[in-house]
Amino acid sequence: MNNTTLTTSALVELDKQHFTHPWTVFDVYQQQGALPIAEAKGCYITDSNGKRYLDAVGGLWCTNIGLGRTEMADAIAEQCRQMAFANPFVDMTNIPATQLAAKLAELAPGDLNHTIFTCGGSTAVDSSYRLIQYYQNCRGKHDKKHIISRNNSYHGSTYLSMSIGGKAGDHPVEFDFISDFIHHISCPNFYRAAAGMSEAEYLQQLLDELEQKILTIGPDKVAAFYAEPIFGAGGVIVPPAGYHQATWAICKKYDVLYVSDEVVTSFGRLGHWFASWDVFGIKPDIITTAKGITSGYQPLGACIYSDRIHQVISEPGHGRCFAHGFTYSGHPVACAAALKNIEIIEREQLLQRVLDIGPYFQQQMKTLQDLPIVGQVRGQQLMVCVENVRDKVSKSLFDEELDIGKRIADHAEDLGLIVRPIVHLNVMSPPLTITKDEVDFIVRTLRQAIERTINDLQQQGHL
């Protein structure tokens, strides 16, 4: 079938019949269908009817260098022509994968010099846990397998990574989750801390909770702490100052591995290759990444881990086999795309660009806080979230059925702007190439979309 001959309505109908989308609410989807995207250039996407939108979500936190770059297409095509696939198993390798692994060792903090390549973020998180099990068994610590993560975190959509995640809405009763060795503690969201508590008191409460959780499970049983440096899908929650270093210290005290899930926060989103060390001053044992590693031009993830772990698992004389990996681990085309993507970030000095424009983006977004339903605008550099509330003093939320984030996102879409709704939130993570004028457009248009939503709510008697 030649899809260029399909009309938009035929495409939407076909899509409804055959494509099970991630996170589809089936009933709504059957009524509304999907927006078919036909083209993407820089920060802009164009639908199949020719309408153009500024994509402030950056795909899904991933189109860091912006889409539609000929240089990327050429690098990918060239690698396809040269060698579209190579078996990565056992003792075969390929040049782009070797080069990329070496480059990641150069860019990653501390002694993170080893990479397991995966197909995306979820499989990077899964691989990190298989690595941890392997490491603990090699050390003879067979009981040290439990994981601590945080409520409201997102770590992926495989059985394991989704179980590590802690977003209530992502754990519907129709799915099963692993709970016997995965434990969740509080999300470090000061906006939702008990009234009257100082930030320092709140931080101490969070740290006590982590330490107590380790002691309750037993330090000999806790293998790892999983944490996004800034919560992404949980609503761009930036933990209180000092949280990262203090949780890292607690983990070190109890021989608990620190896994920093940088699927969103790496490759420039916060103005650095990785946020763990350069932004938050911690050297994790493992970093998981994906998304911005190729800016979405190819699917790729990576689990980057320390010399310390590597020395244990590869200790000479044991003849051990690390029986883990995928057909597409170190896929040459994906790795070639990542290498070109990194080259572009370096050449165009996009990290510095983020450090220059990021504060302006945050400052302009915060002007929306004068709107009566905007409870908080928060974020850092090119990650931002607008939290919509019914009442700004009590911080009470709208009923979930009102789908406030989606209403705002739909108005924004009409106005030519894509923002991502997550229940009562709207999140954004534009490409690193975003300009001041485009930031102004985002803020102006989002304001209009929120005002239209307030108007609807008033007319429908919800406000």
Binding site for ligand PMP (CB under 6 A): 120-122, 125, 154-157, 228, 232-233, 261, 263-264, 290
CB of 121 to ligand PMP, least distance (A): 2
Strand order in the sheet with 222-227: 112-118, 301-306, 286-289, 257-261, 222-227, 146-150, 182-185
Contact 420, 413 (CB under 8 A): no
> Which helix H or strand E contains 182, and what residues bound it?
strand 182-185
CB of 124 to ligand PMP, least distance (A): 7
CB of 261 to ligand PMP, least distance (A): 4
Extract the tokens encoding 177. 């989750």
Give 292 or 332: the residue with its C-beta nearer to ligand PMP.
Answer: 292
Bridge partners (DSSP) listed for residue 37: 47
CB of 57 to ligand PMP, least distance (A): 11
Extract the tokens encoding 226. 């999983």
CA distances from 135 to 114, 138, 170, 307, 385 (A): 14, 5, 29, 12, 37
Give 233 or 333: the residue with its C-beta nearer to ligand PMP.
Answer: 233
Give 261 or 438: the residue with its C-beta nearer to ligand PMP.
Answer: 261
Give 146 or 167: the residue with its C-beta nearer to ligand PMP.
Answer: 167
Helices (H), 108-198: 121-138, 159-164
Extract the tokens encoding 453. 């939503």
Give 22 or 50: the residue with its C-beta nearer to ligand PMP.
Answer: 22
Strands (E), 211-277: 222-227, 257-261
CB of 120 to ligand PMP, least distance (A): 3
Give 206 or 233: the residue with its C-beta nearer to ligand PMP.
Answer: 233
Which phi and psi (to 5°) does residue 390 adopt? -75, -40
Contact 112, 304 (CB under 8 A): yes
CB of 248 to ligand PMP, least distance (A): 18
Extract the tokens encoding 40. 């993407």
Give 58 or 240: the residue with its C-beta nearer to ligand PMP.
Answer: 58
Q: How many helices (H) and strands (E) does the chain have?
A: 15, 15
Closest CA to 235 of 44, 33, 389: 389
CA dist 435 and 440 (Å) reads 9
Contact 184, 150 (CB under 8 A): yes
Closest CA to 84 of 342, 331, 297: 331
Bridge partners (DSSP) listed for residue 422: 425
CB of 166 to ligand PMP, least distance (A): 12
Please list, in sequence order, all residues whose beta carbon lies within 8 angstroms of the beta carbon of residue 36, skipping any fewer than 6 positions away: 8, 11, 12, 15, 47, 48
Contact 463, 454 (CB under 8 A): yes
> Which helix H or strand E contains 60, and what residues bound it?
helix 58-61
Give 170 or 387: the residue with its C-beta nearer to ligand PMP.
Answer: 170
Please list, in sequence order, all residues whose beta carbon lies within 8 angstroms of the beta carbon of residue 333, skipping any fewer than 6 positions away: 76, 79, 80, 84, 85, 96, 298
Give 164 or 193: the residue with its C-beta nearer to ligand PMP.
Answer: 164
Sign of torsion, CA 308 266 231 35? negative
CB of 140 to ligand PMP, least distance (A): 30
Give 42 or 234: the residue with its C-beta nearer to ligand PMP.
Answer: 234
CB of 161 to ligand PMP, least distance (A): 6
Q: Report the residue number whose CB is nearest to ligand PMP.
A: 121
Give 227 or 344: the residue with its C-beta nearer to ligand PMP.
Answer: 227
CA dist 253 and 95 (Å) reads 40
CB of 154 to ligand PMP, least distance (A): 5
CA dist 322 and 325 (Å) reads 9
Give 127 or 136: the residue with its C-beta nearer to ligand PMP.
Answer: 127
